[in-house]
Amino acid sequence: MTARGTVLVVDDEDGIRFSLKGILEDEGFAVAEAATGEAGLAFLESGEGADLVFLDIWLPGQDGLAVLERARELRPELPVIMISGHGTIETAVTALKKGAFDFIEKPLSLEKVLLAAHKAMEFSQLKRENLVLRQTLAGPEVRLTGESPAMRDLKEQIAQVAPTDAWVLITGENGTGKEIAARLLHAQSRRADQPLVAVNCAAIPEELIESELFGHEKGAFTGADRAQMGKFELAHNGTLFLDEIGDMSLKTQAKILRILQEQRFEHVGGRKTIEVDVRVIAATNKDLPAEIRAGAFREDLYYRLKVFPLVVPPLRDRAQDIPLLIEDFVDQLVRRGGCKRARFSPQALALLASYPWPGNVRELKNFVERMLIMMNGREVTPDKLPREVLAECRVSAAPGHSAVGHSAGHSAGGYPAGDRSAGAPYGADVEPPSFPIAPAAEYAAPAPSFGAQAMQPAAPSVAGGDDDDLLLPDSFPAGPLDLKEARAAFEARFLEAKLREFGGNVSRLAEAVGLDRSSLYRKLKGYGIMAE
């Protein structure tokens, strides 16, 4: 794409074509010429393309009005300016009704030609932007909700890289908000007033992805009954968001790499080289280095995209943001209509903060909508939470409430077997407590209970009075101690005692407590517990 675009001039008079070519080229347009209507249509059908057409009404053979109708069939978005030396008001009205953008009488005026050309190009650009806006209007709100350390770090990184043109690779699990991060990058960039075009690489069939990305000409393949611009072209001067880039085939990856490097391409079935200026943001939920090792992703494309990496944390690593997210989702759903506002009790929020949320923020939003529909304006309390959610919760409501959510599926530490989150709901890398952890002592290890009785000291006896058996302490160290620190202290002592019980065998310990080895290693390291 040139600085201004390509203009096709269709007129049987050599002098008119010569004059228009000189005027338009001086303004930075590229100009193609055709002496007949048939030649002009052949140009449009050939794949060369045009951004604007000046079309004479009186032509040998097929006249201008017939050419106009055919051009509108081929390229409905293409602006056509009619010119004539024998025009009447009736002719002008007919041309405009058939879809002409403007009508200019001969002899041509320099000012009128330039004014009409610029207006037509602006109109064409507005139509493209309108198309993009309609496609993205239902997209998520450009806002990252959360005040946890992980989210503050992410927002700071976005603020740093957004004003630049650096390419960004966003990684994170499904449902964490990678697209919202991409939209926030665009909204804070210098291209914010230009289109943001999103492409879900996983949702487009392999045989159609080239056409979607690069556009195609009429007849390029079966079903291509008209020419169509691709996503790269629509994103010119703006941002192209390639979502789920890890699901793109190796064949398409090779083509994408060349185009990303050169920012030039041709329509499928076309011959004209189109130049674009786009900023690329890519996102994936896959481990791309692992995909590279498996031969499923190109290493050169990975490093081309990874100019500035961003990682969107999973919801389980920022559980303190859950009340803020729930409040946001309640507001959105109430404004949208169909749901009555409902309050989540503090006890319910405490339970939800302990749920692992495998579907992340997307799962939380769907859950909130479900609860608003079910409760119909009533308060959401722990006993109203779905059973499948309660079965996965790892902490209870506030002291004084009955145990909720404990089931046989939980392992000895009160955590569900096969836990996805590698431990506490505050993140896989658990922060050690602020007070020293004493070795396991002579305390009993009661079955996990999250009711009021759990706060009572247990009798110091277990099978044979073995010193290695874990017991809940009678008291905790003086000084500041919140629930998180208390849980971490108990967990550290529990793991230390159990590790000794299994003779330092981490694999056996992992199987016994229902954690995978890597998660358990991180916990042990975080607590300063060394395996023998």
Integer-rounded Cα radius of gyration of the chain: 33
What are the residue ranges of helices labelled H in 337-423?
346-354, 360-375, 387-390
pLDDT number for residue 180: 93
pLDDT number for residue 431: 39
Q: Is 504 helix (H, G, I), strand (E, B) or coil?
A: coil
CATH of the domain at 198: 3.40.50.300
Task: Compute CA distances 74 → 4, 47, 401, whole Å.
Answer: 22, 11, 70
pLDDT per residue as tens digits for the range 10-38: 999 999 999 999 999 998 898 999 999 99
pLDDT number for residue 477: 52
pLDDT number for residue 440: 34
Mean residue pLDDT across the chain:
79
pLDDT number for residue 141: 55
Q: What is the DSSP string of 423-434?
A: SSTT-SSPPPPS
Q: Are residues 46 and 169 in the same domain?
A: no
Q: Are residues 11 and 93 in the same domain?
A: yes
pLDDT number for residue 135: 54
Higher pLDDT, 454 or 379: 379
Q: Are residues 55 and 98 in the same domain?
A: yes
The model's confidence at residue 75, banded by pLDDT at 50, 70 and 90, is confident
Q: What percent of the chain has pLDDT over 90?
A: 41
**β-strand 264-266 against 273-275: which pairing, if any?**
antiparallel
With respect to residue 479, please indicate whether it lies within any of the assigned structural domains. no
Q: Are residues 175 and 124 in the same domain?
A: no
Q: Are residues 208 and 118 in the same domain?
A: no
Final residue in a domain of this structure, among 311, 343, 358:
311
What are the residue ranges of helices labelled H in 449-482?
none
* Domain with 53 in it: 6-136
pLDDT at 83 over 60: yes
Q: Are residues 158 and 256 in the same domain?
A: yes
pLDDT per residue as tens digits for the range 198-242: 999 888 887 888 888 888 888 788 777 778 888 998 999 999 999
pLDDT per residue as tens digits for the range 258-274: 888 888 888 888 888 88
Beta-strand runs (E) in 78-160: 80-84, 102-105
pLDDT per residue as tens digits for the range 155-176: 999 999 999 999 999 999 999 9
pLDDT number for residue 404: 37
Q: Are residues 301 and 337 in the same domain?
A: no
Higher pLDDT, 442 or 26: 26
Higher pLDDT, 213 or 413: 213
CATH of the domain at 21: 3.40.50.2300
Measured CA to CA, the distance from residue 492 to residue 476 in angstroms comes to 14
Final residue in a domain of this structure, among 265, 285, 311:
311
Measured CA to CA, the distance from residue 516 to residue 524 in angstroms comes to 12
